[in-house]
Amino acid sequence: MRFYPPSRMGSDVDDHHGEQVPDPYRWLEMTSDQETVGWVTAQNEVTESFLAAVPARESIRAQVTAMWNYPKLTVPFERGGRWFQFRNPGLDAQPVLYVLDEPGGSAIPLLDPNTLSADGTTAVSSADVSDDGSLLAYATSDGGSDWMTWRIRDVATGRDLEDVIEWSKFCRAAWRADGSGFYYCSMQPTAVGAEYLESNPPGRIFLHRLGQPQADDELVFSATDEPDWIPFAEVSDDGRFLIVTVAKGSVFENQLLVLDLLDPEESWSALVGDFESSNQVVSNAGSTFYLVTDYGAERKRLVAVDLDQPGREYWREIIGEAADTLENVCFFGGHFISH
């Protein structure tokens, strides 16, 4: 019989407003410490010895494998006349990104994450193609980590450029309309070996220009006095505006900030400047933005907001609140498509 390994109780105590709260297992947070590594190894050995003796284990494995072994495809998307789609034939650890002539047409693999690590635990956490379809900015994450490392691949040749961007989290690559670079979110680097231990807010939005080292990336948004703010950057469909959605911790409400990229003297404008509602930008027509919001509508509605008069008293309702919740709205071919 295998016994659980002993779990040492430490002496760490926190003082929460005068109340002493013991934290005897804090030493287990030091994942690189040899004592922690030994404890985890011993725990895994106990678990595996039990599971290995389960008679139905291989039968269960075979059933689950058979149920999971089927082709998995994402919806193809188009950039600059090229089509892109993630595909998994069934049991690959990670899906492969393909380039297609047309939906359902011949496909050429562009990015295969299964070749990036021996155990298949390196995932592509974001893949964003420039508007003209010529460049792919992709971020990889190892072992389920939130940390993202960005690289740029030439779609025609399948080769990576020299650009490498590290210390990124919680973002996509928001390409500029001319393809000269993209916006991304970056955190402060941690101490060596503390990548998964240290707190690293606040997030900052940088502009990376192709061919430049990360050290030269331009800081375009930061809120150093607001450590729980999480910014997410996107470029408007017409390429004119940089839109930053600011979340605050884990709450649903957010702010929307807008920067006119065509005016080098322009400063940030608040489309929604408080945390009183949940808001999502759908599209824009010039300086008029269309938002899905729950302000004044628990089941949400679509409103038009003018950047020069963003106050809620000036909002114009496009789709009113209904009996069903408005989950999402997209703008295609001159029409709002509501889910």
Q: What is the pLDDT of residues 239-252, one digit of tens each?
A: 999 999 999 988 99
Give the pTM: 0.90
Longest CA span, the chain: 73
b/e map of 118-151 (b: 16 or more CB within 10 Å)?
Answer: eeeebbbbbbbbbbebebbbbbbbeeebebbbbb
Closest CA to 171 of 209, 196, 208, 143: 208
Using an 8 Å Cβ cutoff, are 28 and 39 in contact? yes
Number of Cβ within 10 Å of residue 100's Cβ equals: 18
Question: What H or E segment, with its residue span, contains residue 38?
Answer: helix 34-52
Q: Which pLDDT score is estimated for 13?
A: 97
How many residues are listed for the chain in this entry? Answer: 339
Distance of CA 192 to the CA centre of its chain: 24
Rounded-to-integer distance, Cα 262 and Cα 137, Å: 23
Q: Supply φ then ψ for residue 226, to 5 degrees.
A: -125, 80
The H or E element spanning position 50 is helix 34-52
Span 58-105, pLDDT tens digits: 999 999 999 999 999 999 999 999 999 999 999 999 999 999 999 988
Domain spans of the chain?
267-339
Counting residues of the chain whose pLDDT is more than 70, the rounded percentage is 99
Q: Is 5 exposed, middle or buried (0-12, 13-18, 19+ CB in 10 A)?
A: middle
Q: Are strands 204-209 and 218-221 parallel, antiparallel or unpaired?
A: antiparallel
Q: Which residues of the chain have pLDDT under 50?
A: none
- Residue 194's pLDDT is what? 80
- Single out the residue of 219, 248, 245, 218 nearest to residue 233, CA to CA: 245
Beta-bridge partners for 98 = 85, 109
pLDDT at 200: 79
Amino acid at 93: A
pLDDT computed for residue 192 by the predictor: 83
Q: Are 323 and 309 in contact (CB under 8 A)?
A: no
What's the rounded Cα separation, in Å, for the pair 339 and 270? Answer: 27
Q: What is the pLDDT of residue 1?
A: 61
